[in-house]
Amino acid sequence: MDKVKIIGIIENILFTAGEAVAIKDLAMALDMDKYVLQQLLEEEMKAREQTAGLMIRRFEDSVQLCTRPEYADLIVEMLGEKNEAELSRATMETLSIIAYRQPVTKDEVEKIRGVNSSYTINALLEKDLIYVAGRKDALGRPKLYATTQAFLRYFDVASIEELPALPGEGEELPLFGEQDTWSEEEQA
């Protein structure tokens, strides 16, 4: 099968799926080697960077058909706002801790934040930005939380490694409860 036909098939699969599809699943459907398909996809993504109306974006080991960011205003004007509510400061704080410390327990998040995080963790689970990645081998076997592919799409990164480095990387993060600069409202 030639490159043009393979890309056409992939476009149709991604358009119909409406969400990210695992590269290994595409390779299996096309009866291709996964690594050969990855190379082909990388070439296609690079070719589409400047000119194509639709982009193919990679999120970990999956790809998705996406609109170009520069057309966002026109799309919103024509079709209305996306139904993604902005994340609150507390939710962003909790999500940041999970992203940088994953997998992490609710108790570990709460020790860093200095406040109960049940509500924000449940909100992040409902928004599919985090998931239960397993259980910690500790007393009570608490749940471990990690970020999802929806998290990567929301923040437009291909993998966790693309997140910006934290200041003082390698040092322990300060516990917010130890600082007097945070008001109760900011901690909620």
Summarised one tens digit per residue, pLDDT across range 132-183 is: 999 999 888 999 999 998 898 888 888 888 888 776 655 554 433 333 333 3
Query: Alpha-carbon distance 57 to 65, whole Å?
Result: 6
Q: What's the rounded mean pLDDT across residues 19-36?
A: 92
Q: Burial level of 96, CB count in 10 A (0-12/13-18/19+)?
A: middle
Residue 165 DSSP label: P
Q: Is the pLDDT of residue 118 over 60?
A: yes
Q: Which residue has the tokens 């992490």?
A: 104
- What are the tens digits of pLDDT across the range 9-23? 998 998 888 888 999
Fold: same for 3-77 and 89-187: yes
Query: So where are the chain's domains?
Result: 3-77, 89-187
For the domain bounded by 3-77, which CATH number is listed? 1.10.10.10
Q: Is the pLDDT of residue 39 over 70?
A: yes
CATH class of the region 89-187: mainly alpha
